[in-house]
Structures are given as C-alpha cells and as structure tokens.
Amino acid sequence: MGKERSEKEKVGGGEHNKRNMFVSCVVMNSCAAELKLALTALLVLCSIATLFQILPSRFAISASDLRFCISRITTTTTTTTTTTSIAPLNSSSSTTSIAPLNSSTTASLTPSPPSAQKEQVAANGAIKRGFNPYGSAAYNFITMGAYRGGSDTFAIIGLASKPLLLYSKPTYQCEWVPESSSASNSTFSTVSYRILPDWGYGRVYTVVVVNCTFSEAVNGENSGGKLFLEASTSGGGDKNFNITDRFEVLNESPGDLNMTLFSSKPKYDYLYCGSPLYGGLSPQRVREWIAYHVRLFGERSHFVIHDAGGVHEEVLEVLKPWMELGYVTLQDIKEQERFDGYYHNQFMVVNDCLHRYKFAAKWMFFFDVDEYIYLPPKNTIKSVLDSLSDYTQFTFEQMPMSSKLCLSADYGRYYRKWGLEKLVYRDVKRGVRKRPEIRNPAAQCLCKRSAHVPELRRKNNS
C-alpha cells in the first residue's frame, strides 16, 4: 500500500541494493546463510516490496506423499499449561561453580527465585561480586499455530526470543500425549528442527517454525491426544540453567482426525495468503484488488486476508460481500503487534497461512494487495500454472519504478492515480525446487521475493 511502500523506500537503500538482495536470495537453499547478514542487510531487506509466491504443486508428488494434511483448521489452541522446569545447578550463593548444563537435577515445577548473591571477600583477598537476575524480558516462545502435516509430522509456527536464537542454541522437542492413558504412552518426536524463515530479521522476536516428526503415526487410532512443545533455552540467557517450557500446542479430540480430508482433491485451485494489512488502506483500492483477483483466479479460489489494523470499517465493508460469498477469510491478527518482530510479523503470518491451508489448494500465492497479477493476452492463470506444473515454487523479480517520476499534469491529484510497479517473471528455474528436494518449505517460501506476473516466460538455462 502507499504507506507501506513509502515506508519500504524510506528504510531501504536504492534500487541497487534491492537488486543485490534479490541476487543473494535466489538460491533458496542458501537461505541459512542469510542469517549472517548484518544489520545493513536488515535495512535493505525492508526496502523490498515483498511479494513472493510459493506454489506447492501436487503434480510431481506421489499421491501418498503429501496428501496427508494439516489436521484441522481449528487446530491451534494454545491453552498453555506452561510447565517451566528448571534444572537448578549448584548455585550455592557466592561460591558459585559453573556447573555443566546437563547436570540433571530433577526439575522443580516452578523456578524458585535465585537467592541474592552478596559480595564476599574470598580467601585470596579478592572481593567476589555477585550478579542477581530479576525477571525475564522476552518470552521463550509465542505460538501462532500448530498444524498436522501428515500422519506423523507437525509444524508449529511462532516467535521466539531473538537473542536466544541468535546467540545460543535453544532446542525444541515435541511430545504427543494420547487422550486416554490406557491407549499408549506419550511419545517424543524423533526429529525436531527449527527454521528461521525471516533469517533473523526480527527485533525482539524472530520467527520460528518448528518441525516435529515422529517415528510413527500419532493418533493413528483417532482416539485423540495432545501435542506439546518443549522449548529449552539450553543455557541461552543464563548459562547455568536449561529452562524448559512445555506447553500444549494442538489438541485433537477423539474422532477429530480425518485423513480423507487430506487425501481428497483440494477444495481450491488457488489460495491467496495476504501479508498483514495495516495503516489507512483505501477501501476503493481494496475493492478493485479483490474484484480483479477473484475474476482472475476464478470460482475455485480463496483469499485469506490478515488484518493487522488495516481493515477498518470501510475496508471491511468492501470485503464483507466477498466473505459472504465464501471467497474471503478474514483473520484478525492485531494481537501480534504486542510482539516486536519484523514488519508486523509478516513472516510468521504467511508461514502460518502456508501450513494452515497448504492442503486446501493446488497453488498458493503470496503477494501484497498493492500488487496485481497480470497475464498477457491469450494466457489464463490455468495455462500458465499448468506450464509450471513440474515446479513446486516460482518467484518473480520486482522491477520497481521510481516513485519520484510523476506526470506534472497529475500534480495535486496523485491520490486519484494508480501507482504501478512492474514485476516481471524472470527465471522459473531459479529458486525452484522439485518437491522431493524441498526440505523446509517454510524457509523457502520465505525467501522474500517480489512478484507479479506481467509476463511469464520460461527460460531454458539449466
């Protein structure tokens, strides 16, 4: 949006920088390296009008592969039964010896406040100073959603303390607890890894996607159960402690799990995941945008709009009819503003959307509401996407126009004019992975790229 754009431009450098960022982001697998980008990169990235598209396709996949699905759209309860367990290490006041983290004292349920350390004169005559910590400035983990991605795998999307992730190695593990204790014992995920899809661009918080995969199907009997996430600081924040927060992230009631839902044909052909909307959006522009794209994507399409404060009354009014027709789902995500991440926690929001809806559509689109998909004449969205059916993802290069070029005839009437940026599809091979190679879709989707589709042209260079 206008506001968003000007903010991007303000923060960012010139187009030269933007371009560099694109280049650095082209090879998706190298995303992790982006973590190392310093503050400058952070600023530069802000300048990128974001628009990226992930297009998970089902084509190249064996049917059994992924038709399993997120369990439910209703999943995400976070009735946190936070159990903080601290392994207190031998911190017997002043003569503190740094005990190893793994010294496992049995966990007490609530952390007892550390006894204050006092100054003492040590045997060698030195004054041994104490350091007394109080409180805790950032949450260990903030959940937004948890989704089943198959019979044995889950994704948990949220935010975590950025310095914790940046400077230490917090660990995550999932535990599945069956509803009826007689059924079976709780099991722990064998594989749990985390992705930082925003490459550390967050501020106090940064986005984390935890992938928990079990060695076998969980809740196979469909008798219900709960998924818990255990987030351990592993010495981050305080080297003496390994604080583990354990909380419920997903609850499947008995009979809740419907695997056929996931193996059936997706409900939609195209699903749009919008970035958080904020600021004084023009209802006229939103009305045009939605009408245009509903027409473009057709009847089997759906639009998920995230309201971070931008969907004020008049905008809601133009969205309402589309909501009633079933084209639009509006999600109020204003609460995330409490947590200072990056750009209204955009990366968390779109990752949540990805995992929440990925089994509901053939293709998902990620771009902003000040961006339009345009297809050259004689193309339809179907013909274009059919031509890309071998790919699971493609992106577009942004070719921003200068915001300083204006017709003098328009002077004083800019508010009535459309600002257009041309984003040209550049190279389908780049940043595209065939499904079997996608190990962390979330990270890949989140290689931010700008897109619009003025021209789809396939280059055969590789």
Ligand X SMILES: *[C@@H]1O[C@H](CO)[C@@H](O)[C@H](O)[C@H]1NC(C)=O
Q: Can you give the binding site for ligand X, defined by CB under 6 A?
A: 90, 92, 97, 100-102, 149-150, 153-155, 171, 173, 184-185, 211, 213, 230, 232, 234-235, 242, 244, 258, 260-261, 264, 439
Largest Cα–Cα distance of the chain, in whole Å?
A: 87
**Cα(120)–Cα(366) distance, rounded to whole angstroms?**
60
* CB closer to ligand X out of 95 and 383: 95
**Cα(201)–Cα(39) distance, rounded to whole angstroms?**
9
Phi, psi (deg, nearest 5) at residue 301 = -130, 160
* CB closer to ligand X out of 322 and 391: 391
Query: Shortest approach of ligand X to residue 255 CB, angstroms?
Result: 7
Distances (CA, A) of 168 to 12, 154, 179: 29, 24, 35
Residue entry with tokens 């600021």: 279
Query: Shortest approach of ligand X to residue 209 CB, angstroms?
Result: 8
Query: Shortest approach of ligand X to residue 329 CB, angstroms?
Result: 17
Residues in the chain: 462
Structure tokens at 197: 């899809």
Stated as kind and residue range, the H or E segment containing 120 is strand 120-121
Query: Shortest approach of ligand X to residue 210 CB, angstroms?
Result: 9
* CB closer to ligand X out of 124 and 185: 185
Stated as kind and residue range, the H or E segment containing 162 is helix 162-167
* CB closer to ligand X out of 51 and 212: 212
Measuring CA to CA, which residue among 205, 213, 203, 122 is closest to residue 173? Answer: 213
Structure tokens at 420: 């257009």
Crossing angle of the two packed helices 15-26 and 39-46, in degrees rounded to 10:
110
Query: Shortest approach of ligand X to residue 444 CB, angstroms?
Result: 11
* CB closer to ligand X out of 84 and 184: 184
* CB closer to ligand X out of 35 and 101: 101
Query: Shortest approach of ligand X to residue 303 CB, angstroms?
Result: 21
